[in-house]
């Protein structure tokens, strides 16, 4: 079994007064998604799972087209801030020395929807379930940095 964890491509920055920030990909993000599809599209992939967030769905779309597969949406690999009113790409937080970047590094998450231990348990259970469903295949999971970090910390 091989599982390929893919962080979504670069999304736009969104900061709202009300509602949920669910940004689409930036132009650069669409280019990144196309490159990822060209790279992984030559592999023998059994299934593609994807977070329900727009940035992940848009990242997975070109790969699914190349592979001729339908993405399976999995709530279990949604990011910890999925209901936040803002989304600032971590690349931007890091590049601008934003205080929120330092908080992320310390494990302090603003705008979280669930306790960090519950988030980790959800991610680990979901990924382990996907592994169990595909014992001999290669699976791609298009998700988020927090999801990938939590699963890698587990293994």
CATH number where 132 lies: 3.40.50.1240
- CB of 94 within 8 A of CB of 108? no
Of all residues in the chain, the percent with pLDDT exceeding 70 is 97
Of all residues in the chain, the percent with pLDDT exceeding 90 is 83
pTM of the model: 0.93
- CB of 12 within 8 A of CB of 148? no
pLDDT of the residue at 127: 99
| Phi then psi dihedrals of residue 2, to 5 deg | -125, 130
36 DSSP β-pair partners: none
pLDDT of the residue at 110: 65
The count of domains in the chain is 1
pLDDT confidence bin for 113, thresholds 50/70/90: confident
Residue 133 structural domain = 2-154
**Tens-digit pLDDT profile for residues 76-92:** 999 988 999 999 998 89
- Which distant-in-sequence residues (6+ apart) come within 8 Å of 109 by Cβ? 80, 81, 103, 116
Q: How far is CA 26 from CA 6, 87, 107, 124, in A?
A: 17, 13, 27, 29
């Amino acid at each position: 079994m091989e599982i390929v964890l893919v962080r979504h491509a670069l999304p736009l920055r969104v900061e709202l007064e009300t509602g949920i920030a669910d940004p689409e990909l930036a132009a650069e993000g669409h280019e990144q998604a196309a490159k990822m599809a060209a790279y992984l599209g030559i592999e023998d992939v059994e299934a593609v799972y994807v977070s329900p967030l727009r940035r992940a769905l848009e990242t997975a779309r070109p790969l699914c087209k190349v592979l001729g597969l339908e993405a399976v949406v999995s709530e279990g690999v949604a990011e910890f801030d999925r209901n936040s009113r803002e989304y600032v790409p971590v690349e931007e937080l890091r590049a601008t020395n934003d205080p929120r970047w330092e908080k992320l590094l310390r494990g302090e998450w603003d705008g979280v929807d669930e306790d960090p231990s519950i988030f980790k348990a959800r991610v680990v259970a979901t990924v382990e379930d996907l592994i169990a469903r595909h014992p001999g295949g290669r699976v791609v999971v298009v998700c988020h940095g927090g999801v990938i970090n939590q699963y890698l910390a587990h293994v």
